[in-house]
A and B are shown apart, each in its own frame.
Chain A
Amino acid sequence: MEFVQQVVNGLAQGGIYSLIAIGWTTVYGVVGVMNWTHGEVYMLGGFSGFFLFTRLKLPFLPGLLIAMAVGSALAMAIDQFGYKPLRKIGMPRMAGFITALGLSTLLRYSATAGFSPDPQAYPGDLLDYRMITLFRAGGREITVSSLHLFIFLGTLAIMLALELFIRRTLTGKAMLAASQDMSTLELMGADPEKLIKITFAISGALGAAAGVFVGTIYAINTMMGSLAGLKGWSVAILGGVGNMTGSMLGGLLLGIAESLTAGFISTGYKDAIGFIIMILVLLIKPTGLMGYSTEEKV
């Protein structure tokens, strides 16, 4: 059954969208800034993976962890130099948006000047590659590549760990509270700056992980952050701001929609259909799939 196969393909691709979107949504939920630099953290994560795997010849897992640490550090630095000074003056919404845009342009083009616009590929023997037959349907084998499956499971694992962290630890609970009302949380004695640092660290690690995953399956270049960033952000909004499960769901939905469009409707309109679905969902449920609507205070 080609339909089932295309859905499986979509899930594999959607996993990466989800991972990027979760990094977006955590920052937007807690800090309230459309963090455009997330796409750049993702790109630089991919490049740190590239240097770790090709120059230092590290195996996959240590390389991934170091790249995630680099991503965390980078995201925290972005916050320190970019957003923190703005928070001091009350973080005007537009200023945050434009600062993010500026930071992302700065990082993207500095990277292009430094690494050249050439695409780069990870070593081919980084992870074992084979097609895995999941099950048989309608006389056809439904297959998925071991890499896609690995990354899908990796995304799930990261999400579960994050969910546990948020539900079970005090810091996590504070983060959840912060995404609803930062000022009340401050009155309760929490240190907002510390919370924001942790949020950026998590977001950066997720973005870098997504970058390394994409490098492992595909290839990387310095412009990859712009499209991935925009898509990740769209997915985050689609899923509902600040809601991780929503982001996960939104990413998978977009992945499946794109895959089905490419398989059955038109390969030329693949991305367009993704956007149309997104717009329709937002018009039907303006807060996104799993977003909660808050009554606006008058």
Chain B
Amino acid sequence: MWKSSLKYVIARLPRGSGEWFFGSGGRASFIGSAAALLLVCFIDAPFPSVTIVPPYYKHILFSCLLYAILTLSLNFVTGFIGQLSLGHAAFFGIGAYVTGALTKYLGLNFWLSIPAAAVLAAAVAVLLAAAAQRVKGAFLVVVTYGFGEVLRYIAINTDGLGGSAGMPGIRPPSIFGVPFNRIGPSGKEPYILFAFAVVSLLSFFTWRIEKSRTGYALAAIREDEIAAAAMGINTRYYKTLAIVMSAFLCGIAGSLQAGYASFVSPELLSSTQSILILTMVIVGGPRSIKGAILGAALLTVLPEFFHSVKDMFGLGFDPWMILYGLILIVLMRVRPQGFWGKSAVF
């Protein structure tokens, strides 16, 4: 019974031959990565005395998945309608603060705070979408950047939200009465699996939407907005849809971060954060699902790796930021479409 239903699910996974990881199909990629993830997460469970996968690696793994949610979300705006946004950390931050405030002050269940966070982020995004109807390109970049900064100042100046020091002590989510941080060898496993589930669903959703009527409409708007409008595409509707959807998903990522770190601070809303998410999308390759995920992973793992390199060679400064600049310059010259992008989008 259980076996047959699993078979049923597997048979319905998207195949998308050859365009996912290592040239394999979507189904194989999902099963492979899920298996690998489960192995990584619970390999330590039978023998608590030895640690094969230290929590630090699990922390990095979670960060990769969290940023993958953000890059996949931003991809709706940057990849699908071809607009740059420097304010996406704002939606991430809104999600985190909503979950933080609701669980801390109202004692609301973490799971119920997720839809609240996502909906509020989406509601705020409607305002930004209205702005995006009037301005675009460099102008929209300024508007989104300013928008993010305004929200950051609100967080800094609101003492109820912890002010500039942030809000600590957010209760971790629990499932069947067991807190997340009590499950698994390091307490990070449930977060990893939950984030993985979101990334998988989001990848599937993105993959389906790209080949749908909506996807074609968004592509038409990206390539030529005026021509798209002339063809009878409701550009206003589709642009709003892309931005609101994107914000909704960023809000979910924010909730997850608040629960995981049990702490939120105004830095989550900063333009540095927005720029990081955007560069992840660009480095990975806009419009590529694989690119968004791997871009997020690459820019999360590399800085951590270079922290170790610095200690190994005893350098007086952290080489990562300098190298990061160089990587961006060289990448744009060699592969302007990003590592896994198919063709230059802009």
Contacts and interface: CB of A to CB of B under 8 A. Distances in A.
Interface of A: 28, 34, 82, 85-86, 89, 92-99, 101-110, 112-113, 230, 233-234, 237-238, 241, 266, 268-269, 271-272, 275-276, 278-279, 282-283, 286-288, 296, 298
A99 B138 CA distance: 15
Contacts of B165: none
Is chain A's binding surface mostly helix, strand, loop or mixed? Answer: helix
Q: 7 closest pairs, A vs B, by CB?
A: A102-B328, A106-B325, A105-B325, A275-B146, A94-B346, A272-B153, A109-B321
B279 interface: yes
A286 B134 contact: yes
Contacts of B333: 85-86, 95, 99
B34 interface: no
24 contacts: A28-B138, A85-B333, A93-B137, A94-B286, A94-B336, A95-B332, A95-B346, A98-B282, A101-B328, A102-B328, A103-B325, A105-B322, A106-B329, A108-B321, A113-B317, A113-B322, A230-B145, A237-B139, A279-B131, A279-B146, A282-B131, A282-B134, A283-B134, A286-B139
B139 A288 contact: yes
Contacts of A287: 139
B325 A109 contact: yes
A94, A109, A112, A241: residue with the most chain B Cβ atoms closer than 10 Å: A94
Contacts of A96: 332
Nearest to A291: B139
A11 B271 CA distance: 27
A197 B48 CA distance: 64
B189 interface: no
Contacts, number: 128
B28 interface: no
Contacts of A233: 142
Nearest to B149: A275
Nearest to B317: A113
Contacts of B332: 86, 95-96, 98-99, 102
Contacts of B227: 298
Interface of B: 84, 131, 134-135, 137-139, 141-143, 145-147, 149-150, 153-154, 156-157, 224, 226-227, 230, 271, 275, 279, 282, 286, 316-318, 321-322, 324-329, 331-333, 336, 344-346
B322 A109 contact: yes
Given A99-B328, A298-B227, 17 more contacts: A92-B346, A94-B336, A94-B346, A95-B332, A98-B332, A102-B326, A103-B325, A105-B321, A234-B146, A268-B153, A271-B149, A275-B147, A276-B146, A278-B146, A279-B131, A283-B131, A283-B143
Contact of B282 (A28, A94, A230): A94
A284 to B, nearest CB: 9
Contacts of B143: 279, 282-283
B329 A103 contact: yes
B136 to A, nearest CB: 9
Contacts of B135: 282-283, 286
B139, B143, B275, B329: residue with the most chain A Cβ atoms closer than 10 Å: B329
Nearest to B84: A97
Contact of B327 (A85, A102, A266, A279): A102
Given A102-B329, A102-B332, A298-B230, A272 B324 contact: no
Contacts of B327: 102
Given A93-B346, A269-B157, A296-B226, A107 B325 contact: yes
Contacts of B156: 268
B131 A34 contact: no
Contacts of B230: 298
Nearest to A235: B142
